[in-house]
Chains A and B, each alone.
Chain A
Amino acid sequence: AQKITQTQPGMFVQEKEAVTLDCTYDTSDPSYGLFWYKQPSSGEMIFLIYQGSYDQQNATEGRYSLNFQKARKSANLVISASQLGDSAMYFCAMREGGADNQGGKLIFGQGTELSVKP
């Protein structure tokens, strides 16, 4: 069974509009971390935002926010005011295992290709 599911292989958004990229996860561990990474066509993996399983508030980083719904096991990424430079592949990931939240491996979803239209 997939531990991280991204159901949108591709998304389009108009420049300056907001877009939500979906991510659901599956774990029985009470302690986990959720991450979003951006991968532009150049190939690097750029960290965007993190949400810990015990965090009470949704994470925000500039134009990025994470809509964390623990009971539904979803961690959707919201990008506000999309820019042309936001066009990229976006990966949701979950940290599994490790000790005291450290050293655990990241399990990635299949990714969502976002295209921002001018």
Chain B
Amino acid sequence: EPEVTQTPSHQVTQMGQEVILRCVPISNHLYFYWYRQILGQKVEFLVSFYNNEISEKSEIFDDQFSVERPDGSNFTLKIRSTKLEDSAMYFCASSAPRDRVREETQYFGPGTRLLVL
């Protein structure tokens, strides 16, 4: 069964460093998302992406964040200069198979646990 994959599973970085989190969405999906979950808290929306551009972004998704679909399979989240409060689990998700575009379930990857020291 197709699934969303994410790399790395864990990342430790120093404050101020840039990190790139990578995702491979389900291959025939059209919409892509990033969410984050600070330890012990609920999952929060960051950004949605469709047709090579951002559809919607939250207040969290400030100028330090960017997303890119550099090729036909990868979807990346870049944090330009990490802060301590960026420590969280970051989830990638995808939805809308090309042949069933009204199906709206978002399927999540296993997450990348980011720790900023």
CB–CB A108/B95 < 8 A: no
Q: Of the 9-residue stretches B16-24, B65-73, B74-82, B102-110, which lies at the interface with chain A?
A: B102-110
CB–CB B31/A103 < 8 A: yes
CB–CB A105/B42 < 8 A: no
Which residues of A sit under 8 angstroms from B95, Cβ to Cβ? 102-103
B39-67 near A? 1/0 per residue, CB < 8 Å: 00111110010100001101000000000
CB–CB A105/B111 < 8 A: no
Q: Which of B42, B50, B108, B109 contacts A109 (CB 8 A)?
A: B42
CB–CB B56/A106 < 8 A: no
The dominant DSSP class at the A interface is strand
- List 21 interface pairs A-B (beta carbons < 8 Å), by A numbering: A35-B106, A43-B111, A45-B43, A45-B111, A47-B105, A47-B106, A91-B43, A95-B106, A97-B56, A100-B101, A102-B95, A102-B101, A102-B102, A103-B55, A105-B56, A106-B33, A106-B35, A108-B43, A108-B44, A110-B41, A110-B42
Interface size on A, residues (CB 8 A): 27
Complex CA gap A33/B96 in Å reads: 14
Which residues of B sit under 8 angstroms from A37, Cβ to Cβ? 108
Supposing A102-B95, A108-B42, A110-B42 touch, asked if A95 and B104 sit within 8 A by C-beta, the answer is yes
Please list the residues of chain A having a beta carbon within 8 angstroms of any beta carbon in chain B: 33, 35, 37, 43-47, 50, 52, 91, 93, 95, 97-98, 100-111
Interface size on B, residues (CB 8 A): 30
Minimal beta-carbon separation of B24 from chain A (angstroms): 15
Complex CA gap A105/B31 in Å reads: 11
Which residues of A sit under 8 angstroms from B43, Cβ to Cβ? 45, 91, 93, 106, 108
Minimum CB distance partner of B113 in chain A: A43
Supposing A35-B105, A102-B31, A108-B44 touch, asked if A44 and B111 sit within 8 A by C-beta, the answer is yes
Interface status of B115 (Cβ within 8 A of chain A): no
Interface status of B89 (Cβ within 8 A of chain A): yes
Supposing A45-B91, A102-B96 touch, asked if A91 and B42 sit within 8 A by C-beta, the answer is yes
Complex CA gap A98/B93 in Å reads: 15
Which residues of B sit under 8 angstroms from A95, Cβ to Cβ? 104, 106
